[in-house]
Chains A and B, each alone.
Chain A
Amino acid sequence: MNLQPVSTPTVPPWLLSRLRDLGYTLLGLSLLLSVWWLGGYLIANEPTTQAFAGFAPSAALPEAWRLIVTGVLLDSALPSLERIFFGLLWAALVAVPVGILVGVSSVLRQITGFSFQLLRMVSPLAWMPVAVLAFSTWDGAIIFLIFMAAVWPILFSTAFAVQRIDPVYFKVARNLGASPWANLKRLVLPAITPDILAGLRLSLGVAWIVLVPAEYLGVTSGLGYAINDARDILAYDMLAALVLLIGVIGYTLDAILVALIRHFGWQRGA
């Protein structure tokens, strides 16, 4: 008799768990799609709302495809992405140095603490009239609004990260003869990079939300403008398609930042 165990082909466990994760994601997506489809079905069968039938996936999905392949999406998204980029850039350029100063100096922390918390709680869109007055171009105004939304998460996470640096790291640097510049370059900046990126991720989320209403302002380009335009010309399939695509682009941007955080994240066992 042959007593050797029969080797059965087994699926490696990591693949199994990946497959399960994918399965859940797909399940969630199809649930979302069914709700969307059901809504569209109800709208189409109700005489008073029939005009909005374009919202249904059957109309919006082909329209989304058309927007992608004809390059219309790209034409709208590029100006928006540019505004987001500059808004976030300015926010980071201001928030990181200020955050470091606030994190280092307890006096500065006390001076700014209340004002910053107050300003943070103001909806970025409340700055709209100010932005319009202060900036000669619409683009400038929109970038300012994005800046106002994006500056706080980066500033607070930077300041907090600086305070959390292990004091013994500073002792080591001082003991080994580090200049202030070396201290910043070798110790402070690398130590807080993961938190700056985490703050940037939060900022991106808010900025992406603020972008669309900000683009209702006078500009004639961008995703917000395109949505407004679709509404004006009663192109509801296009409107629904744009909503979907804004979500997809936002998700992609977030995923890129998550990848960056993973790459620079020394804390979480990288």
Chain B
Amino acid sequence: MGASIQIDKLTHRFHKYATPVIRDFSLEISAGQSLAIIGESGCGKSTLLHMLAGLTQPSGGCVRIQDKRVCRPHPEWNMMFQSPALYPWLSVEQNVALGLEFTGQTRGLKARVAEMLELVGLAERGRARPHDLSGGQQQRVALARSLAVSPEVILLDEPFSALDAFTRRALQREVTQIAHDHGITLVLVTHDIDEALIMADQVAVMGRNPGTLRSLLDVSLAYPRDPKEPAFKALRDELMSRFHDSVSLNSAVTACGVAADDGSCVVSSA
């Protein structure tokens, strides 16, 4: 049920002699927990997530999922992207079945696909073509496709940012609920502070140049969370100030040209 993730001194450069995009990033996420990552645009969040998924090989350090070293992509740690990335030449059902087909789990495939579509509330739309669905429905299908292979970890890279506010809120709740029910570990990259606080047990704030972990905030609120609650609002203010600190720190660092990667940069909580 779920898997823990150990990120150990992860470093990445896109070119051999370039300054690293991410440097010495270490973090542990326990099984079934959810972590949100926020940070300025270009600080390396997507790169980090790609390394967790095994889609990008880090230049240094390593990622372990349930003590297995991540060397390549695997259906058990599954990534969802900003675009649903459904194959337009396949029906919704066939899209959901892809992972099962690729991994040779063809027995009971039909039933599994139906179950997944039921879970995301699209039981009726199996025969439809992806482009006949709304953006939110497409992202639901992508979720069903990820869930079909029974992943231990789901990595989400701004998966709802292209959706309208209502659909986004609904999907945030649904994904959180499903992850809890199945004990799936979630790592979520987002630009939306409320999204981070609605979905995550912990929020990591990243700084940039190079991408490092600046601070970590525990969100100890009961699910489902309500953005109108005072405790939520307090956490939002706290997160905002940490985020701004990390941004101003970045500009200070960029201004004097010093790469700040040591502990002194971490903004302590109020």
Contacts and interface: CB of A to CB of B under 8 A. Distances in A.
B88 A267 contact: yes
A171 B78 CA distance: 10
Contacts of A166: 85
Nearest to B83: A168
Contacts of A174: 55, 72-73
Interface string B135-157: 00000000001000100000000
Interface residues on chain B, size class:
20 to 34
B87 interface: yes
Contacts of A267: 88
Given A177-B73, A267-B88, A171 B103 contact: no
B73 A175 contact: yes
Interface string B94-135: 000011011100000000000000000000000001010000
A173 B55 CA distance: 11
Contacts of A266: 88-89, 129
Interface size class of A (residues with CB under 8 A): 20 to 34
Interface stretch (A29-37, A182-190, A203-211): A182-190
Interface in B17-56: 53, 55
Contacts of A270: 129
A179 B55 contact: no
B243 to A, nearest CB: 27
B92 interface: no
A268 to B, nearest CB: 10
A129 interface: no
A270 B85 CA distance: 18
A175 B83 CA distance: 15
B55 A171 contact: yes
Nearest to B77: A175
Contact of B101 (A168, A186, A191, A193): A186
A193 B145 CA distance: 24
A233 interface: no
B58 interface: no
Contacts, number: 64
Contact of A168 (B81, B103, B149): B81
B74 interface: yes
Given A182-B102, A186-B98, A269-B131, A172 B85 contact: yes
A52 interface: no
Contact of A179 (B87, B99, B102, B131): B102
B93 to A, nearest CB: 14
Given A168-B81, A182-B101, A269-B131, A177 B87 contact: no
B89 A175 contact: no
Interface string A61-82: 0000000000000000000000
A178 B101 CA distance: 9
Contact of A176 (B88, B102, B129, B131): B102
A230 to B, nearest CB: 47
Contacts of B149: 176-177
Contact of A171 (B75, B81, B90, B101): B81
A186 B87 contact: yes
A171 B79 CA distance: 9
A29 to B, nearest CB: 37
A177 B81 CA distance: 16
A169 interface: yes
* A172, A179, A267 interface centre (most CB from chain B within 10 Å): A172
Contacts of B99: 176-177
Contacts of B131: 269
A175 B53 contact: yes
Contacts of A171: 55, 79, 81, 85
B88 A175 contact: no
Nearest to A172: B85
6 contacts: A168-B83, A168-B85, A172-B85, A177-B75, A186-B87, A266-B89
Given A176-B99, A177-B75, A186-B90, 4 more contacts: A168-B81, A171-B55, A171-B81, A176-B149
4 tightest A-B contacts by CB? A176-B99, A266-B89, A190-B89, A178-B102
Interface of A: 166, 168-169, 171-179, 182, 186-187, 190-191, 193, 266-267, 269-270
